[in-house]
Amino acid sequence: MISDKMTEALNDQINKELYSSYLYLSMSSYAAHIGLPGVANWFYVQAQEELSHVERFYAYINSQGQRVILGAIEKPESDFTSALAMFEAALEHEQFVTGRVNDLVNLAVEERDHASQIFLQWFVTEQVEEEENASDIIAKLRLAGDQGGGLFMIDKELASRVFTPPAP
């Protein structure tokens, strides 16, 4: 069983993961609205992925004999200036989430909670991937610019992303 302090921190992370999904749904909607269906797809898949993170935290808290308590979810930004701006905001958000995951690991170490340390390692690895994905797309968008054929090709590439639920 995990401590009440760890449970509270994990419950708070569920809220942050739900916010992440909201943010990416908002970005998906905006991208669809401005005629970038591939970008919209990429962010929609990202929103689904964030919900799978929620499910992981939910299952872990319950498996540890504790209770999930859900809080209000903050309203996300809904207007963006470009695809590049959306991915820059996504990278900044993922860096924030990485900091939160690192704080959870630090708490688990402080509490000598080995089960939570092991559980959280998946998220440490996941955050490296999340930041790398956003950074790669940002680099491509900067090379291509916000207009014309380059943006069209990147949008077409992003349309091929599909959600694959992570292994348990």
Contacts of 41 (CB under 8 A, 6+ apart): 28, 158, 159, 161
Spell out the domains of the chain, with CATH numbers in brackets: 4-158 (1.20.1260.10)
What pLDDT score was predicted for residue 146? 64
What pLDDT score was predicted for residue 154? 94
Please state, in angstroms and rounded to a whole number, the distance separating the CA atoms of residues 159 and 156. Answer: 5
* Residue whose pair of structure tokens reads 């091929």 in the numeric block: 160
What pLDDT score was predicted for residue 166? 79
Which parts of the chain register pLDDT below 50? Answer: none
SS3 assignment, position 51: helix
What pLDDT score was predicted for residue 12? 98
Of 9, 62, 7, 53, the residue nearest 168 (C-alpha): 53
pTM: 0.94
